Amino acid sequence: MKPFSEMRDEELAAALRSLRPEPSPAFAAELDQRAAAGFPRRSPQGARNPFARFLAWLRNGSMMRLLIPAGGVAVAAIAVATVMVAGSNSGSADSEVATSAESVEMSGSESTAVGGSADLAPLTKQAAPEAAAGAEAAPAEEANESSSIQVEPQVFNGAGNGGAAVTAPHRDVERASQITIGTKPGEVGEASSEVFETVHRYDGIVLNSSTQNGSGTQAEANFELLIPSGKVGDAMAAFSRIGEVVNRHETTTDITAPTVGAGERLQDSQARIEGLLAQLSEATSDTEREVVEAELASERRHAANLKAKLSNLHRRANLSHVSVRIVSGKGALSPGGSDKDESWGIGSALDDAGHLLSVAAGVTIVALAVLAPLLLLLVLAWLAGRAWTRRARERALT
C-alpha cells in the first residue's frame, strides 16, 4: 500500500472527504423541524437557577432589549431628579421670604443679611462702664469703635445656665439695620404709614423720611430711624410684615472699649476738678487763684467733652440706626409673593418653563458626569470580557 507521504494531494483530499461525518437522519429531521419552527428557544443548559437564566437571557438578548429599559430608567431618574431639584429650589426661595418675615426667631451673628435680632438683644443692654472690667485694653478708643463685635462665647451661652449670665461682663453694642421692602406702587403711602406707626409703637425716632407716592412704577419711600436697641428686633419683624422683604442687612459693632475708656477718663477729670476746687479754696493770693481757675476752666471743658462723648456712645448703644426703604415696580415683588392680585399668565408660564428647562439641563449634565465614567467602565469591561473569551476559546485548541 502506498504510504501517505507519497500520495498526491488530490488522493489525500479524496480520502479525507470520504471520512466526512454525516448527520444522522434523525438529527437532520429534528433540526429541519426546528428550522421550520424558527428555532424556538430551548432552556439553556445549566440555567435552572435564576442567575444562570438571567445570564443566558443577557447573552441571547439583543441590545435593544437592554437599551430600552435602561433608557427608560435613565429618563425616569432624570425626571425625578429634576422635580426634586426644582422643588428644593422653590422651597428655598419660599424659606428665604419666610425667614425674612420671621426675623425674631433667627439667630444672630456679627453681620447678618437676614434675621439675627432676637439673640443679639441681650447684647444691647445699657452701657455700664464700671462693669466692663475687662476693657482696660482700650486706649485707642476711636480705632476700636468701628471694630466688629468680639464677644466671648460664654456671654451667649449664659442664657442657658443662669449664673454665667450674671457674672458675664456687660458689653455695649451698636447696631445698624437696613431693610428694603417691596410693595405695589399704589401701596407705598400705606406702607409708609405703617412704618410711622411701627416707629411710634416701639418708641423710636424718625431722623428723616422721604416719600414719593404715585401710581407709576417709581413710587418709593426712605426712612432713617432710631429705635431703642432693646426693641429693634421686634421693630424689624414688624417692618418685615409691611410688605415683601427684598433685602435685609444688619451689622453690630462692639463699642464697649471706647465707652469704658471715656467713662474712666471722665471720672479722672471730675476727680481733678474736685482737687482744683479744693486747691482754689486754699489759695491765698490772687495770682495763685487765677492760675488755679484757669486750670479749672480747662479741666471743666475737658470733662464736658468727655461727658458729651460718653453720652453719644450711650445713645449709640441705646438707639439702633435703622434704614427702611420701600420700593415698588418691576422686580420689587417676586412671582407668587405678596403680589397676589397679578394673575399667573403666559409670561409666568414661559419663565417657569425656562427655569424648569435650565434645571433639567443642569441635572442632565450632572447625570452625564456621573454616568459617563460608569459607561466607560462598562464598555471597557465588555471589551475585556470579549478579549478574554476569545483567548479562552483559542486556548481550547492548544
Partner 1 sequence: MMDAAWRRSTRMSQAGALLATPTEKPREADLAFDDLYRSSRDDVYAYVAGLLRDAAAAEEVTAIAFERAYRKRSRFDRRRGEPRAWLFGIARNAALDELRRRGRQAELAAEPEDLAAVPAVESAEQSERRLALNAGLATLAPRDRELIALKFFAGLANAEIATVLGISESNAGTRLHRALTKLREACDEAL
- Is residue 10 near partner 1 by the rule CB under 8 A? no
Of 5, 43, 49, 287, which one interacts with partner 1 (CB under 8 A)?
A: 5
Query: Is position 3 an interface residue for partner 1 (rule: CB under 8 A)?
Result: yes
Nearer to partner 1, 142 or 394 (CB): 394
Locus of grid cell 464598555: 379
Measure the CA–CA gap between 195 and 180, rounded to whole angstroms: 12
Q: How far is CA 205 from CA 41, 97, 228, 243, 275, in A?
A: 91, 27, 9, 21, 41
Q: Does 13 bind partner 1 (CB under 8 A)?
A: yes
The H-assigned helical ranges of 102-219 are: 141-145, 153-157, 163-167, 188-201
Told to check if 392 binds partner 1 by CB under 8 A, we report yes
29 binds partner 1 (CB under 8 A): no
Residue whose CB is less far from partner 1, 35 or 346: 35
- Determine the 3-state secondary structure of 168 from DSSP: coil
User: Least CB distance from residue 30 to partner 1, whole Å?
Assistant: 8
Among 25, 38, 69, 345, binds partner 1 (CB under 8 A): 38
> Among residues 65 and 200, whose Cβ is nearest to partner 1?
65
Taking residue 226's Cβ as centre, other Cβ atoms within 10 Å add up to 19
398 binds partner 1 (CB under 8 A): yes
The CB-side HSE value for 157 (13 A sphere, CA atoms) comes to 4
Residue entry with cell 470733662: 303
> In whole angstroms, how close is the CB of 94 to partner 1 at the nearest point?
54
Give me the sheet containing 220-228, strands edge to edge. 111-112, 244-254, 173-183, 319-328, 220-228, 205-212
- Shorter beta-carbon distance to partner 1: residue 341 or 394: 394
Query: x/- string (CB under 8 A) for partner 1, residues 338-377?
Result: ----------------------------------------
Among 8, 10, 25, 35, binds partner 1 (CB under 8 A): 35
Mark the segment that binds partner 1 (CB under 8 A) among 10-18, 184-192, 293-301, 357-365: 10-18
Is residue 58 within the footprint of partner 1 (CB under 8 A)? no
* Cell 458689653 found at: 171
Q: Contacting partner 1 (CB under 8 A), which of 36, 166, 346, 374?
A: 36
Nearer to partner 1, 1 or 369 (CB): 1
| Of the candidate residues 10, 24, 106, 387, the single one contacting partner 1 (CB under 8 A) | 24
136: Cβ contacts below 8 Å, ≥ 6 apart: none
- Phi, psi values for residue 362, rounded to 5°: -65, -45
Decide if 191 contacts 221 (C-beta within 8 A). yes
Helices and strands of the chain, counted as H and E runs: 12, 6
Cα angle at 178 between 342 and 209, to 5 degrees?
85
3-class secondary-structure state, position 377: helix
Q: Which range touches partner 1 (CB under 8 A), out of 29-37, 184-192, 266-274, 325-333?
A: 29-37
Q: Which one among 37, 166, 346, 374 touches partner 1, defined by CB under 8 A?
A: 37
Q: How many residues bind partner 1 (CB under 8 A)?
A: 39
Contact between 60 and partner 1 by CB under 8 A: the answer reads yes
Contact status: 42 vs partner 1 (CB under 8 A): yes
286-318 and 256-281 helices, crossing angle to 10°: 160
Binding residues (CB under 8 A) for partner 1: these are 1, 3-5, 7, 9, 12-13, 15-24, 27-28, 31-32, 34-39, 41-42, 60, 62, 392-398
